[in-house]
Structure 1
Amino acid sequence: MNKTLSLLGMAMRAGKLVTGDETVLKTIRQGNAKIVIVAADASDNTKKKYRDKCSSYNVKHIEALDRDSIGRAIGKAERVLVAVTDGGFAAGIERSLIQSSEVESID
């Protein structure tokens, strides 16, 4: 889990991570999102919205972590939603999440 959080922080500093509902949706629609992470403590509506959106645009979707740890990792207030736009960071984050047991679902 610590590796996942540090990768999120590095992606943020490298400018390869977007956050916020509208920005993440736009990134998915433009085909730039490599992986979308929805906090495990997000609302059911938010989880469903992004599960469906990622599915229709064929983007990897993970429900994991919590809003506090995501926010701390990227140096922001609580965050429920982030999209990684770099394939290398996305692959590393996915690998580290699969190795930990923090994942609720990966599509």
Structure 2
Amino acid sequence: MSKNYLNLLGLAVRAGQCTFGEEAIVRDVQRQNAKLVIAASDIGPQTLKKLRNKTDFYNIAFLQVEEDREQLSQAVGKSGRVAIAVLDKGFADKLKSLLTESTRR
């Protein structure tokens, strides 16, 4: 599987277009600022349920990736990150296309 999306995710973080932390992500989803929420494979079940419910209710894209929290954290340069909200539509669209392309292979 191609990990190009991890590089793009790191770029989005450096551009200041991402939010971290459950409360901040939920706030951005409710305000319709988030365009995509990405969750690590080892996210806790309660956090996963909360984020899924919020993104479903507010019609925000949600993707759970194969990578665990360590790989996701390394890509964004911050430790212990299990979920990331992408705020920019351009970054979100490209990340979605890269992630769906890699699952079709």
TM-score (norm 2): 0.91
Q: How large is the Cα RMSD of the aligned pairs? A: 1.4
User: How many residues are paired up?
Assistant: 102
Q: Which ranges in structure 1 are unaligned for 5 or more consecutive residues?
A: 102-107
2:22–2:47 CA contact under 8 A, matched in 1: no
Unaligned runs of 5+ in 2: none
Partner residue in 1 for 2:91 = 89
| Aligned positions of 1:1-107 closer than 5 A | 1-64=2-65, 65-101=67-103
Q: Give the % identical residues.
A: 39
The 8 Å contact of residues 72 and 78 in structure 1, kept in 2 or not, is answered as: no
Greater share of strand = 1
- Where has structure 1 moved over 6 Å in runs of 4 or more? none
- Asked if the contact 1:39–1:80 (Cα under 8 Å) also holds between the matched residues in 2, the reply is yes
Report the TM-score when normalising by structure 1.
0.89
